[in-house]
């Protein structure tokens, strides 16, 4: 019988946060329910008061990473299998914006005189998205090999089409003779580091959010300039 009372229980978001930490560090296959107890200083079996299985733990961890409210979920949370979680993730992915600045630049490219503003808008759009969703993306990346259907829900349906679009845009606007695709992908990686990996890099602790966002805005603009037009260092 499922318990609906939360008297004496921790908020479910604390369990989801602990699960998120464990899945991000260990992946899905290697994470055990007892790890959640250790993460929170509880007994090894205490997690079962909140979720009925590791699959249910992953479910609430993914929702938590996506910023979804867990209020109102009856405890212990139960899911049939990971297919239910993948469906929830697919709904989240489909709700994300489909790059309006990039789409506009592809469909209606502005004059080359506005290229700097165009590139900054696309770079900032990418930064803001990654900064808002980085924890869920890191969870996707860490567990995709253990849960192959996640690759369809995220990588194939969202990440791959975006990479294709931004490389296409960059190639059209690049006037140099360098490797356009490699340059475009290096710009994406630089923005990704600023928006995501910087947050877990102790060496980057001094970089503020504003500084990171402003730096990201310049990444694509700098790469679009041919070498002879770049300022001397």
Tens of pLDDT along 190-226? Answer: 999 999 999 999 999 999 999 999 999 999 999 997 6
* Residues 42-68: tens digit of each pLDDT: 887 889 999 999 999 999 999 999 999
pLDDT at 88 over 80: yes
Task: Tell me whether residue 59 is in a domain.
Answer: yes
CB atoms within 10 A of CB 163: 15
Domain holding 134, by residue range, is 96-229
90 within domain boundaries: no
Report percent pLDDT > 70 for the chain. 93
pTM here is 0.86
Query: Does 7 reside within a domain?
Result: no
- 214 and 154 in one domain? yes
Could you tell me which residues come within 8 angstroms of residue 25 by beta carbon, excluding any fewer than 6 positions away?
A: 142
Which of the pair, 175 or 193, is modelled with greater confidence?
A: 193
Per-residue pLDDT band for 229 (boundaries 50, 70, 90) equals low
Q: Which of 15-29, 49-63, 71-85, 104-118 has the lowest mean pLDDT?
A: 71-85
51 three-state secondary structure: strand
Question: Does residue 197 sit in the same domain as residue 101?
Answer: yes
Same domain, 121 and 75: no
Radius of gyration of the chain, Cα coordinates, nearest whole angstrom = 21
Find the mean pLDDT for residues 148-173: 88
Asked if residue 174 is part of any domain, the answer here is yes
**Banded model confidence at residue 3, pLDDT cuts 50, 70, 90:** very low
The domain tally of the chain equals: 2
* Element (DSSP H or E) covering residue 17: helix 12-30
Band (227; pLDDT cuts 50, 70, 90): low
The predicted pLDDT at position 228 comes to 56
Q: Where residue 2 falls among pLDDT bands split at 50, 70, 90?
A: very low
* Cis bond upstream, residue 187 (ω within 30): no
Query: What gap in Å lies between CA 19 and CA 48, rounded to an integer?
Result: 12
Q: What percent of the chain has pLDDT over 90?
A: 66
Report the chain's mean pLDDT, rounded to a whole number. 89
pLDDT the model gives residue 115: 94
The answer to whether 207 touches 221, Cβ cutoff 8 Å, is no
Pick the last residue of a domain from 53, 80, 107: 80
Bigger pLDDT: 210 vs 160 = 210
Does residue 129 carry a pLDDT above 50?
Answer: yes
Residue 5 inside a domain? The answer is no
């Amino acid at each position: 019988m499922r318990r609906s009372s939360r008297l004496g229980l921790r908020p479910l978001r604390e369990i989801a946060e602990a699960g998120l930490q464990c899945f991000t560090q260990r992946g899905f296959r290697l994470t055990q329910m007892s790890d959640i107890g250790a993460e929170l200083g509880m007994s090894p079996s205490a997690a079962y008061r909140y979720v009925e299985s590791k699959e249910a733990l992953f479910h609430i961890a993914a929702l938590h990473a996506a910023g979804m409210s867990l209020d109102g979920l009856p405890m212990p949370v139960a899911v049939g299998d990971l297919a239910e979680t993948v469906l929830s993730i697919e709904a989240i992915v489909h709700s994300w914006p489909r790059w309006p600045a990039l789409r506009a630049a592809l469909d209606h490219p502005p004059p080359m005189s506005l290229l700097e503003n165009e590139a900054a808008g696309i770079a900032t759009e990418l930064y803001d998205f990654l900064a808002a969703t980085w924890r869920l993306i890191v969870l996707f990346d860490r567990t995709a090999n253990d849960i192959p259907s996640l690759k369809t829900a995220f990588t194939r349906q969202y990440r791959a089409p975006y990479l294709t679009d931004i490389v296409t845009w960059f190639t059209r606007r690049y006037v140099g003779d360098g490797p356009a695709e490699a340059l475009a992908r290096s710009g994406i990686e630089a923005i990704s580091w600023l928006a995501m990996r910087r947050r877990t890099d102790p060496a980057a602790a001094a970089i503020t959010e504003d500084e990171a966002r402003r730096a990201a805005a310049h990444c694509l603009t700098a790469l679009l300039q041919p070498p002879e037009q770049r300022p001397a260092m």
